[in-house]
Amino acid sequence: MRGLSGDFSTMPLEDLVAYLGNRRVTGTLRVMRAGVRKLMLLREGRVLSASSNQPREYLGQFLIHMGHLSEALFERAHAQQRETQVPLGQILVATGAVSEQTVRGTLQLKFRESLLEMFRWEEGEFSFDAGAVPRVEGVEAEVELLDIHREGEFRETAWQAIKAAFPSGSAYLEVDEGRLSEPPRAGTLDAALVARIREGLSIDELVRALHASDFLVYQRLYALYRQEALRVVSIPPPGRAPPADLAMPVPVPSMEVELTSEEPAPDELIQAAQSALENGDFRQGEALARRAHELSPTPETEALLHSAEAVLLGVLRRKMLDTPQVPSLRVTAAQLKTTPLTSPERYLLSRIDGKRNVRDILRVSPLHELDALRYFQAFVDTGLVLLTPGAQG
């Protein structure tokens, strides 16, 4: 095919990726927007290399955020790279700092994130020059353009759930470390997020400070939010002035009943839980009822919690068990390995084979039925899993 150029107002990047992927093109794709420049080498519809002038898209940053590489080891390898001009991944493998398999998987993640971030751009320019591309030095990795396009469709669903939980990037957060399923592993993105939230950074500031892609940061925040270890607060930490776009009340979804840094009183939580249940928001109603019972266990809160759990269990059973639903992964095994997950989440995901339905998986699961169904709902909400009707196992 001949060269191609244009802007995102006439051809969004997701359409361009599908176009190039379907034609199995070979050549160089360049994308530019407001000082951001990216270059991808493509061969037969696959990404072989992705470079950017954004530090957060460097291989070293991805390895650090995934917990594969310490800052100290990165600095040593980076210094060696500057001296020898040998690719960073090749140095890390040669010195034994990171395995070749890990570098390859992280490169694939880097390629996907570099393109998927731009799917949300409304402005920008692109050019594609068809023709042979140079051999890529270092650890080889590749990702199908059509796989990236499919992931972009799944990710849009995840963004909808994420933005419902975090409607403004200028909002501040509060973390309840006692509700974390396990302490964040030192050096991981989760550990860095918890540390920076304690420092009082807003979500936008977290993204900038951690040099990570928007989606990786929001994905991990949403995972903490789903554990109820994280909540949005409308007032800044002591000593910080609210940003300009927080001067007016921040629009929040109906599930957000409390936007102050003070813990609501148990009677307020009870009223909010009852209201949520009456309005059909059973997940939020159950979460609020559980929190009310934790703060002030009484026969009233216990009865409310049991009632809310029974209603939520009934809703999730009707959705996933009454009609057999077969879960299948919407991400590759390599993507799953680089996705930070809790032990129960990894257990359930490891049992998904595209054949067994949810009920079959629950039969052999050590998890409580309601907890397991909550996890499956979260997998669907964030685009990790697709449920399709299947035969009774």
Average model confidence (pLDDT) across the chain: 83
pLDDT at 366: 67
Alpha-carbon span 133 to 29, nearest angstrom: 11
The string of DSSP codes covering 279-323 is TT-HHHHHHHHHHHHHHS--HHHHHHHHHHHHHHHHHHHIIIIIT
Secondary structure element (H or E) that encloses residue 36, with its range: strand 36-43
Q: What percent of the chain has pLDDT over 90?
A: 24
Alpha-carbon span 87 to 77, nearest angstrom: 10
| pTM for this entry | 0.57
Residue pLDDT, tens place only, 29-87: 999 987 788 999 999 999 999 988 877 788 888 888 778 888 889 889 888 888 888 88
Query: How confident is the model over 211-234, as a mean pLDDT?
Result: 86
Weakest mean pLDDT among 18-32, 269-283, 373-387: 269-283
Residue 135, Ramachandran bin (φ over 0: left; ψ between -120 and 50: alpha; else beta) = beta
What value, to the nearest 5°, has the Cα angle with vertex 212 and ends 118 and 68? Answer: 125
pLDDT at 369: 86
115 or 35, higher pLDDT:
115
Helices 299-317 and 369-381 sit at what angle, rounded to 10 degrees?
60
Cβ neighbour number for residue 174 with a 10 Å cutoff = 16
pLDDT at 277: 83
Query: How confident is the model over 196-203, as a mean pLDDT?
Result: 86
Q: Which two tokens stand for residue 153?
A: 């469709």
Query: How confident is the model over 92-119, as a mean pLDDT?
Result: 91
pLDDT at 149: 92
CATH architecture of 263-321: Alpha Horseshoe (1.25)
* β partners of residue 387: 327
